[in-house]
Amino acid sequence: MPAGTGFGAALARALLEPFDDGRPVAFRRLALPAPRAARLEGRECLVPADGTLRELAREAFLELGRFLPQGRLEALLAARASASTEGERLVLDALAANAVAAAETGLPLCQDTGVASIHAVRGERFLSASERGEEAELELGVADAWRSGGFRSSLVTPRNLSDESDPGDNLPASVSIRPAVGDSYAFLFAAKGGGSSNKAALRQETRALLEPEVFDAFLRDLVEKLGVAACPPYRIAVALGGVSPEETLEAMKLAAAGAFDALPAASASESPVGALRLRDAEARILELASGSGWGAQFGGSRLALDARVVRLPRHAASLHVATGVSCAAHRRAFARVDREGVFLEALERDPGAVLARAGSGGSFSAALALPRLELSGTPAELAARVRALRAGQLVSVSGPLVLARDAAHARLAALLSRGEALPAWALGAPILYAGPSEPSPGAPAGALGPTTAKRMDGYLETLMAAGASLLTLGKGERTEACLSACARHGGAYLAVPGGAAALFGSRCVESMETLAWPELGMEAARRVVVRNLPALVAVDSRGADVYARAR
């Protein structure tokens, strides 16, 4: 067991002996050769077979992109049992059914397969046999996973200040390798989507924040402002302290992934014990989340499944505070390489059996019973249907949509700014803010789910005035710009459950074709026909907003 009270020692302990919700993580052995023993300066060391790290990274990301950690599905089902609104039950049913759909179809849990993140600790007696270097080997495994898994390439690389391009392989990955004592190599592999990453924040505070009343007000403010755009129910994570801002942010990310679940609780002893887990603060976050009104995306009481609050050593003059969330997909997997072989966390590969034991077969039929919103017909007919919608309604959407998100909106706005006409496909068509993953052979679509809607709010007034974007669909709450534009132009916004992309891509999409700008990759404009896509009328043509109370 690593000695010391610093962050590196705490991380080594967390990765070498990982826990998940109080239970030791279960592993399965991969069909890869165990490292061979070698002697270096009189000490026995371990040397992995060439390609071991590449294959481990590939297998880890293919697994975590499709399967939830053991216990996560049970937590979603427990949340479903205590859901307080019809909309919340609908979302949680979709998330559970999505786990089954991903396992059955091979589609990723979420269309945003995220940035590949690797945290590792390597014992000083574990030697690399790669001429390319360990980080390069791990990145090759990441690229292999994205190519063979049909994962979406979400990263863009800069050409200059404003121009970017899609590298096509979702690289670079975020790789951090720290030294440790011993001959084991331990890993935490994780994939983080943009919506979830965008909730991360770093603040510089003072000792005053640690006073109970002040800290409680801080937690209340944190929960009230979280919103639902990052696909709740969340794990809410807070890191207090750290000897540098970088350490604090990393600690928050690791806590959100569950790496610090086994940290000791706060002690009445006067002896310092290094990093701590503040369980009273975690319970308070859950209490605040339950009463916030945000709920699991469509209102209710299940904004959060759980919380993690860690307290770290700090400079007496500094209090770095990092906050963030892990979304409903919660994509992560522990792994290790030691003298016994290569091991990967045993994720839940048969979610259907888990749902069956809980009395649910994993079907998602709730959308079929919802009032139907038909998108086909003339623009005038669609406009009349949109004006008839009222905030708070649950509907089942069927018909043709245009997929367009950030880059496509920038191009549409550029056309208008140059005095040019919008393309015919954009006029009067409902817009779903989404970028799908790669389709499986013979399938109409890959994983397809909504992206954060309020990122497009800056374009909405201009587009609506030009006859576009009368009806928009996405995820999460929106800003006043959307409310006023909808009221002015008779438009509406529908919130679609986020985090159920395998389910929607496999069961709700009938066809898909590229309309324009294929060079934008996943951000190209596409036409898609959907059937029974569940949604909540979040903003109606009067400007009424279902999220107003929570906000």
pLDDT digits (tens, 9 = 90+) for 147-164: 999 999 999 899 999 888
Rounded to whole angstroms, the Cα distance separating 26 from 542 reads 52
**In terms of Cα–Cα distance, which of 397, 341, 344 is closest to 57?**
344
- Give a yes or no: residue 514 inside a domain: yes
Q: Are 475 and 226 in contact (CB under 8 A)?
A: no
Rounded to whole angstroms, the Cα distance separating 484 from 329 reads 33
pLDDT of residue 1: 42
pLDDT of residue 366: 65
The predicted-structure confidence for 81-95, as pLDDT tens digits, reads as follows 899 999 999 999 999
Q: Are 315 and 242 in contact (CB under 8 A)?
A: no
pLDDT > 90? residue 42: no
Verify that 463 and 498 share a domain, yes or no: yes
- Give a yes or no: residue 551 inside a domain: no
pLDDT of residue 146: 95
pLDDT > 70? residue 134: yes
End-to-end CA distance of the chain: 46
Rounded to whole angstroms, the Cα distance separating 355 from 513 reads 34
The predicted-structure confidence for 5-25, as pLDDT tens digits, reads as follows 678 888 999 999 999 877 899
User: For the chain, how are helix, strand and coil distributed in percent, rounded to 5?
Assistant: 35, 25, 40
Average the pLDDT over each of 104-118, 173-187, 257-271, 418-432 and give the range with the smallest value: 257-271
- Give a yes or no: residue 546 inside a domain: no
Mean pLDDT across 440-447: 88
Verify that 277 and 370 share a domain, yes or no: no
The predicted-structure confidence for 222-243, as pLDDT tens digits, reads as follows 999 999 999 999 999 999 999 9
The predicted-structure confidence for 395-408, as pLDDT tens digits, reads as follows 999 999 999 999 99
Verify that 145 and 236 share a domain, yes or no: no
Verify that 7 and 29 share a domain, yes or no: yes
Residue 296: how many CB atoms within 10 A of its CB?
Answer: 33
pLDDT of residue 399: 97
pLDDT > 70? residue 363: no
Verify that 92 and 147 share a domain, yes or no: yes
Verify that 318 and 385 share a domain, yes or no: no
Residue 369: how many CB atoms within 10 A of its CB?
Answer: 9
The predicted-structure confidence for 456-471, as pLDDT tens digits, reads as follows 999 999 999 999 999 9
Q: Quote the number of domains for the chain.
A: 3
pLDDT > 50? residue 214: yes
- Give a yes or no: residue 544 inside a domain: no
Verify that 24 and 166 share a domain, yes or no: yes
Verify that 128 and 202 share a domain, yes or no: no
Verify that 178 and 219 share a domain, yes or no: no
Task: Collect all residues with Cβ–Cβ distance below 8 Å to 327 and sequence separation of at least 6.
Answer: 110, 193, 195, 196, 230, 231, 232, 234, 498, 499
Alpha helices in 149-205 (DSSP H): 194-197
pLDDT > 80? residue 414: yes
Instruction: Give the angle subtended at the CA of 180 by the CAs of 9 and 310, to the nearest 5°.
Output: 25
Question: Domain range spanning residue 511?
Answer: 366-539
Mean of the per-residue pLDDT values for the chain?
93
The predicted-structure confidence for 486-520, as pLDDT tens digits, reads as follows 999 999 999 999 999 999 999 999 999 999 999 99
The predicted-structure confidence for 316-357, as pLDDT tens digits, reads as follows 999 999 999 999 999 999 999 999 999 999 999 999 999 888
Verify that 43 and 164 share a domain, yes or no: yes
Of residues 70 and 105, more confidence is placed in 105
Verify that 520 and 402 share a domain, yes or no: yes
- Give a yes or no: residue 548 inside a domain: no
Beta-sheet strands, E only, within 418-470: 431-432
pLDDT of residue 130: 80
Which amino acid makes up residue 283? A
Verify that 344 and 295 share a domain, yes or no: no
Alpha helices in 260-318 (DSSP H): 279-291
Average the pLDDT over each of 3-17, 208-222, 353-367 and give the range with the smallest value: 353-367
**In terms of Cα–Cα distance, which of 168, 135, 136, 138 is closest to 153?**
168
- Give a yes or no: residue 501 inside a domain: yes
Mean pLDDT across 417-437: 96
